[in-house]
Amino acid sequence: MQTQGQVRSANLAAVLARLRDDGPRSRARLAADTGLTKATVSSLVGELVDRGLVADGALHRPGSVGRPGTLVELGGRGVCGVGVEVNVDYLAVLVLDLRGEVRAERRLALDVAGSPAGQVLDAVTTLVRAVLADVDATPVGLTVAVPGSVQGTVVATAPNLPGWPGLDVAAGLAGTGLPVTVANDADLSALAEWSAGPHARTPDLVYLTGEVGVGGGVVSGGRLLRGSTGLGGEVGHLALTPGDAPCGCGRRGCWETVVGLGALLRAAADPGDPLCDPGRDLEDRLAEVVARARAGDARTLAALTDIGTGLGVGAAVLVSLLDPAVVVLGGYFAVVGEFLLDPLTSALAARVEGPRRVVLSTLGFTAAVRGGAHVALQPVFHDPTTVPLEASA
């Protein structure tokens, strides 16, 4: 049997979740939505205001008769969640408040794959501290996105990060002083699309992201599909190609050897070309790819067509298995997506019956880190009493 305190905590969470999912509501509407009495809702809203999690907004005038009511909306600028992305050649940090507004973000070019893991985690700690020093809010947690599979806070596999399997990321980030969660980068990107992208709350969604590796995240029935060992959606190493190009995982013929960033750059440029310079910022290199394609460069356009066709071949397998309402392309796929969509949809249509919706992510390279910050905030939505009363916005 739940205690009185547990019941109240659950009711606080129910009100807060309604405001997150459905937007500003009057107290009367919150009572109708949650099944609680108006008096109870008024008391709950008062406590949430005292905790700085909600605030009174605009006047609500449902009709011409009677007094207008005041809408209640998410506040929460006094608390924030921190997302961190560890990728092969950069680190990124993004801070979200409870309203889903970005309070700070920073990206640091770093040879993560070629650096000792402990040194990388020290750099993460320094970066997080520097970013939070400029944010007037209390962090409630930190979620780290890694390009691999995770068990708890330990990296299980990471084909493109030598030395990371077996690493306890949370232990290495103890210096941040924050509760640490660790998750696959593509899974967090899928959550970001589901929670904040233009197709938010689509119950069945497949997210594909491309950088050095290729990852996937699957939302089915409104829930992230993880599988029995957390490898659900790990699509980059599916043996979908007849080629024998070596993959970072040690096998040959993986999908990412055909559609990953390395495949594009090898096809579009010679080794001495600035596009192949790992010291150059990735977004700058991709901007150059787009510029060359728009200028009609035949080699660039052919490379992009091959990538798009390869994406369509793999996406057809995923669509046949999962039947998503939408396939979202993120990472570098989204940046060069205007040149991928036609060959992709052609390859998809040749293999799957019926129209299929393929769209480009608008979150860009921030998807994984945004998804991490979203996850870091969830304990507040699960139990608003974790935020003390004196932490008012």
pLDDT, tens digit (0-9, with 9 covering 90-100), for 304-327: 999 999 999 999 999 998 899 999
Alpha-carbon distance values, 195 to 8, 49, 89, 202 (Å): 26, 24, 27, 9
What pLDDT shows up at residue 337?
A: 96
pLDDT-above-90 percentage for the chain: 63
Residue 58 one-letter amino acid: A
Q: 214 and 129: one domain?
A: no
CATH for 36: 1.10.10.10
Q: Is the pLDDT of residue 62 over 70?
A: no
Model pLDDT for residues 186-244, shown as the tens digit of each residue: 899 998 988 887 777 888 999 998 877 788 888 888 888 876 666 666 677 787 766 67
Domain closes at, from 58, 74, 90: 74
What's residue 67's pLDDT? Answer: 56
Answer yes or no: do 358 and 248 share one domain.
Answer: yes
Residue 227, in any domain of the structure: yes
Residue 118 falls inside a structural domain: yes
Asked if pLDDT for residue 123 goes beyond 70, the answer is yes
Same domain, 13 and 34: yes
Q: How confident is the model at residue 130 (pLDDT cuts 50, 70, 90)?
A: very high
Q: What is the pLDDT of residue 328?
A: 93
Q: Which two tokens stand for residue 332?
A: 């570098």
- With contact defined as beta carbons under 8 Å apart, do 329 and 363 qualify? no
Among 23, 49, 74, give the residue marking a domain's end.
74
Cα→Cα distances 350→108, 239, 343, Å: 41, 20, 11
The answer to whether residue 257 scores a pLDDT higher than 50 is: yes
124 in a domain, yes or no?
yes
Query: Cα(351)–Cα(359) distance, rounded to whole angstroms?
Result: 18
182 and 322 assigned to the same domain: no
Q: What mean pLDDT comes out for the span 133-154?
A: 94
Among candidate residues 55, 68, 57, 74, the one with its CA nearest the CA of residue 17: 74
Name the token pair of 311.
């994406």
Same domain, 237 and 316: yes
The answer to whether residue 136 sits within a structural domain is yes
Q: Looking at the structure, do residues 163 and 304 belong to the same domain, yes or no?
A: no
CATH number of the domain encompassing residue 175: 3.30.420.40
Q: Examine the domain organization and report whether 160 and 235 are in the same domain.
A: no
**Between 118 and 390, where is the model more confident?**
118
What pLDDT is attached to residue 393?
42
d(CA 286, CA 332): 8
Angle between helices 282-294 and 261-268 (to 10 degrees): 50
Give the pLDDT mean for 137-154.
94
Average pLDDT of span 80-94: 94
Of residues 388 and 124, more confidence is placed in 124
> What is the structure's pLDDT at 159?
84
Beta strands in the chain (DSSP E): 25-26, 54-60, 69-74, 79-86, 90-97, 102-109, 138-146, 149-151, 154-157, 180-184, 205-210, 214-220, 223-224, 326-331, 358-360
254 lies in some domain: yes
> What is the C-alpha separation between 366 and 18, in angstroms, rounded?
26
Using the structure block, give the residue that is written with the tokens 């937007």: 23
> Could you give the number of structural domains in the chain?
3
Same domain, 85 and 123: yes
Count of CB atoms situated within 10 Å of the CB of 392 = 14
Q: In sequence order, what are the residues at sequence separation of 6 or more whose Cβ sits closer than 8 angstroms to the Cβ of residue 62?
A: 26, 69
Classify residue 226 as exposed, middle or buried by CB count within 10 Å of its CB (0-12, 13-18, 19+).
Answer: middle
CA 148 vs. chain centroid, Å, equals 14
Same domain, 126 and 162: yes
Same domain, 68 and 129: no
* 392 occurs within a structural domain: no
- Specify if 342 maps to a domain: yes
Domain boundary among 54, 74, 94: 74
Q: What is the pTM of this model?
A: 0.83
- 295 in the same domain as 206: yes
Mean pLDDT of the region 66-74: 76
Query: Residue 359 in contact with residue 333, Cβ under 8 Å?
Result: no
Q: What average pLDDT score do residues 280-304 get?
A: 94
Q: Based on the domain organization, do 321 and 347 belong to the same domain?
A: yes
pLDDT digits (tens, 9 = 90+) for 150-198: 999 999 988 889 899 999 999 999 999 999 999 999 899 998 988 887 7
State the pLDDT at residue 267.
Answer: 94
| Spatial distance between the Cα atoms of 121 and 338, rounded to a whole number of angstroms | 36
Pairwise CA distance, residues 105 & 345, whole Å: 34
Domain membership of residue 379 (yes or no) is yes
Range of the domain at 130: 79-190+368-386
* 89 pLDDT above the threshold of 90: no
> Based on C-alpha coordinates, what's the Rg of the chain?
23
Nearest partner of 172 among 211, 139, 123, judged by Cα: 123
The pLDDT value given to residue 391: 42
Tell me how far apart the alpha carbons of residues 282 and 332 are, in angstroms, rounded to a whole number. Answer: 9
